[in-house]
Amino acid sequence: MNSVQCHATEPASGFSSAKRFRISLLLITVTLSLAAQGTFRFSGQLSSWAAGTTGGELPLWGGARYIPQFNPGYDMDGSKLDAELSANIYGSLGFRPFDTSTTAGDMKPYRLWMRYSTNQLEVRVGLQKLSFGSGMMLRPLMWFDRLDARDPLKLTEGVWGIMTRYFFLNNTNIWFWALYGNHEPRGWEAVPGNKKIPELGGRVQFPVPSGEFAVTYNHRIADSRDMAGMFTPYDKIPEDKVGFDAKWDLKTGLWIEGSFTHKGRDLGVLTNQLVLSAGVDYTFGVGNGLYAAFEQLVISQDAEPFAFTDPGAFSGLSVSYPVGLFDKFSMIIYCNWSEGNLYNFLQWQKQFNKTALYLMAYWNPESLALPAQTEASGIFAGRGIQFMFVYNH
């Protein structure tokens, strides 16, 4: 679960420290200039947790995280300049009583972007969240994020780049992006990117009867030199992703989503990847309203396109029920049909004006195989319980 992952101390991007510092300094300078000339808002989120788990070497974990967020803005005639500057400051302690302990922590940029916007145009530059698609739990279009449906904080690393979005009057919108310096694998990726070569992509999203439909494309250069023990290492591997997603609001919510990835080098079963999912949700008229959602996903990784040599299948079930005005119970169950494993997650949430309490319990395999857990460590493996306190200001 992202909310308890405090082990990663490497930066999210592939920029060198000096280059990352110069870019950050420039964006911070412009951000402060905007604040001096216009308006600004300061907010933040403080969270702390304690957990016990059977997975990993250390059974007890605790930690805290603070994400301060600074948002200046400057209104012009028919347009606006604004920015977001936030940091991810966290620390954790894992231990086995009277035997072993370890600590980890870091402070790094979480979001660092500037934006120019009008009623129909948005141009955003910097470290930002880039996420889209109709899926909820099992998402083929998880190209640039690692969002986990079970994480109360919905944390995910950003990507460095430029994103432009234009909105037509009929609700059609077009996205274009150019990303640079992002090296770590994201979502379903197994091969890192070449941090010295930009990746380019775009998305067209338009309305259809009772819903919307979108087509997405991305091109990057992958770099397999860190995986030399698996196959011949290459520093430049052309990679193309094509995706689609659609969602309809009928008596029930229905959605489909798919992604196909092809690499221009022979990487065995990692050369081609096809991921397809479909989902449905509905709120039953039981008590305060019982919400349920179900998703089914199929994935195939093959040396030849669409070979389906050894496809895998996952299912996801999400159920939630509000109890009064402040309490809500929820459950998410994943099934890995290929390995016959169940991933079980229960959560009780108590929400106040600025604070929230979470009590979470999970019963999972000792080794994790869910794509949504690519940021998770052994702390979320096996069986465990976690308490979390969140304060927003």
pLDDT digit string (tens) for 233-277?
Answer: 889 999 999 999 999 999 999 999 999 999 999 999 999 999 999
pLDDT on residue 67: 97
Whether 13 has a pLDDT exceeding 70, the answer reads: no
> pLDDT tier at 39 (50, 70, 90 boundaries)?
confident
Q: If you average pLDDT over every residue of the chain, what do you get? A: 89
Q: Measuring CA to CA, which residue among 258, 331, 334 is closest to residue 291?
A: 331
Whether 14 has a pLDDT exceeding 80, the answer reads: no
Write the CA distances from 188 to 96, 143, 199, 201, integer angstroms.
Answer: 33, 7, 17, 17
For the chain, the domain total comes to 1
pLDDT on residue 3: 39
Whether 133 has a pLDDT exceeding 80, the answer reads: yes
Give the integer Cα–Cα distance in Å for 326 and 350: 5
pLDDT on residue 105: 92
Q: Measuring CA to CA, which residue among 339, 359, 340 is closest to residue 349?
A: 359
Q: Which residues span the domain enclosing 364?
A: 2-392
Give the integer Cα–Cα distance in Å for 237 and 116: 34
Give the integer Cα–Cα distance in Å for 338 and 341: 8
Whether 376 has a pLDDT exceeding 60, the answer reads: no
pLDDT on residue 16: 60
Average pLDDT over every residue of 290-301: 97
Both tokens of 362, joined, read: 């999970």
Whether 9 has a pLDDT exceeding 50, the answer reads: no
Q: If phi over 0 gives left and psi between -120 and 50 gives alpha, with beta otherwise, what is residue 268?
A: left
Whether 135 has a pLDDT exceeding 50, the answer reads: yes
Tens of pLDDT, residues 145-190 = 988 899 999 999 999 999 999 999 999 999 999 999 898 888 889 8
Give the integer Cα–Cα distance in Å for 272 and 262: 5
Q: Measuring CA to CA, which residue among 124, 121, 191, 132 is closest to residue 156?
A: 132
**Greater model confidence, 97 or 207:** 207
Tens of pLDDT, residues 88-128 = 999 999 988 888 889 999 999 999 999 999 999 999 999 99
Least confident span in 124-138, 195-209, 371-385: 371-385
Give the integer Cα–Cα distance in Å for 343 and 42: 38
CATH of the domain at 321: 2.40.160.100
Percent above pLDDT 70 for the chain: 90
Tens of pLDDT, residues 62-76 = 999 999 999 998 888
> pLDDT tier at 380 (50, 70, 90 boundaries)?
low
pTM of the model: 0.88
Q: Measuring CA to CA, which residue among 306, 293, 204, 291 is closest to residue 245?
A: 204
Most confidently modeled range among 171-185, 219-233, 372-386: 171-185
278-282: which pairs have CB atoms within 8 A and are 24 or more residues apart? 278/254, 279/134, 279/135, 279/136, 279/137, 279/138, 279/253, 279/254, 279/255, 280/252, 280/253, 280/254, 280/255, 281/136, 281/252, 281/253, 281/318, 282/251, 282/252, 282/253
Q: Measuring CA to CA, which residue among 360, 346, 354 is closest to residue 388?
A: 360
Q: DSSP label at 13?
A: S
Q: If phi over 0 gives left and psi between -120 and 50 gives alpha, with beta otherwise, what is residue 308?
A: left
Whether 85 has a pLDDT exceeding 80, the answer reads: yes
* Residue labelled with tokens 């030399």: 228
* Residue labelled with tokens 């397809």: 276
Instruction: Compute how many other C-beta atoms are within 10 angstroms of the C-beta atom of residue 3.
Output: 24
Least confident span in 55-59, 94-98, 154-158, 336-340: 55-59
Report how far apart the first and last C-alpha atoms of the chain are (Å, whole number).
Answer: 23
Whether 12 has a pLDDT exceeding 50, the answer reads: no
Strands 199-208 and 211-222: antiparallel
* Residue labelled with tokens 């300049």: 81
57 by Cβ neighbours in 10 Å (0-12 / 13-18 / 19+) ranks as exposed
Both tokens of 355, joined, read: 């604070």
